Amino acid sequence: MKVLVACEYSGVVRDAFTAAGHDAMSCDLLPTDSKGKHFQGDICKLLKAGQWDLIIAHPPCTALTVAGNSTYGEGQPKYAERLAAVEWTVSLWEAMKVAAERVCMENPVGVLRRLGGMQKPQYVQPYEHGHKEQKKTALFLHNLPDLIPTDGVFEEMMALPKNVRERLHYLPPSPDRWKIRSTTYKGIAAAMALQWGSL
């Protein structure tokens, strides 16, 4: 399967598909954090270059997440930036559906459905895939089945202190905080490769 993992510098999802025997490439404006097949540049060039069997995308979410409502919400200083981000992301979604038979677009809980008219997403959690952490994430799916939980550890997670199970929320300020928070959990990436790679 020819797989494009868009807006990914970490290589986590790309590497999961590569390990499963697929021809996977990541793409981002940043260089990749791990050795592997990576295109550093604009995703639009890859979408125009050829057809893909599967695209999994992680577009920028700062202006889209409900966590940013105090800055990007209606009546707030950066609301115009939110509207522009919605327009760009929806355009990317439509372009990816033309370039690939199957598409998954990941984003946090946000405004894409309300402001962009996007379909209802599937929501996944790390604790459904072996990680004792919480981070509700939306997956917008085109011609893909819902991701099935692979390793539920909810009860074990709930026995942990809140600042441990919500580790990403409690990260202290640092130059790499945004990178850490945006990296896909390996258990979720492995589930994608196992379940969607066999379609």
Of 159 and 180, more confident: 159
pLDDT exceeds cutoff 90 at 123: yes
pLDDT exceeds cutoff 90 at 182: no
Least confident residue range of 14-28, 40-54, 68-82: 40-54
pLDDT exceeds cutoff 80 at 83: yes
Of 167 and 16, more confident: 16
pLDDT exceeds cutoff 90 at 174: no
What is the torsion angle, in degrees rounded to the nearest 10, for the CA atoms of residue 108, residue 111, residue 114 and residue 117?
A: -70
Percent of the chain at pLDDT > 90 equals 87
> Given pLDDT bands bounded at 50, 70 and 90, which one contains residue 150?
very high
Percent of the chain at pLDDT > 70 equals 100
Q: What is the pLDDT of residue 33?
A: 93
Helix and strand element counts for the chain (H, E)? 9, 7
> Given pLDDT bands bounded at 50, 70 and 90, which one contains residue 171?
confident
User: What mean pLDDT comes out for the span 131-140?
Assistant: 96
Q: What is the pLDDT of residue 50?
A: 74
CA distances from 80 to 60, 63, 68, 74, 77 (A): 16, 10, 13, 9, 8
Instruction: Please compute Rg for the chain using Cα positions.
Output: 17
* Structure token pair of residue 129: 């895939």
pLDDT tens digits for range 42-57: 999 999 877 899 999 9
154 touches 113 (CB < 8 A): no
